[in-house]
Amino acid sequence: MMRAPAALAASALLALSLGACTSDRDSDHPRPPVESASQPAPIPTEPLLSPELEKGFEETFAEGPRQGDSQFGTVHFPKGESWVKLNCFSDSKTVQLKLSLESIGDYTVGCSHSRVEKNANQLNLATSRKLRFTIEADKEARWIVSIQAPQK
């Protein structure tokens, strides 16, 4: 059986250790949960849909939904204004997609895991051209691409 002085010392020690975990100034301000690296980011709440058409434009090429790399061969771009639009998201982490237009150049777009990214890039060509079009993407990236030209 525990003696009274030992029991008193044990209860005082317990009270001190509990008091160290809380304080009056923190009681009115709850602490946010600590995020763990093992917690996945939330999946986008909006669906992956085809990019919206620009007013006065029509879709001349469309592909997707797809994952990873794709080579499309030759795509026609008319003289003047055109749009290359890409909607994407990633299954687990933010990734970069590389879009390439032969002899024009290439550019990258980011795809998030937490929301659908909507990218639009405008071209203004001096002459009509047929260009080889490719997309390089991580296998985790899901995307839909649309090429748009003025309505005829």
Question: Whole-angstrom Cα distance, residue 125 to residue 78?
Answer: 7
**Position with higher pLDDT, 76 vs 1:** 76
pLDDT for the residue numbered 39: 57
pLDDT greater than 80 at residue 28: no
pLDDT for the residue numbered 20: 42
Environment class of 3 (CB within 10 Å of its CB; exposed 0-12, middle 13-18, buried 19+) = exposed
pLDDT greater than 60 at residue 59: yes
pLDDT greater than 60 at residue 8: no
Q: Which stretch of DSSP H or E encloses residue 25?
A: helix 24-27
pLDDT for the residue numbered 126: 96
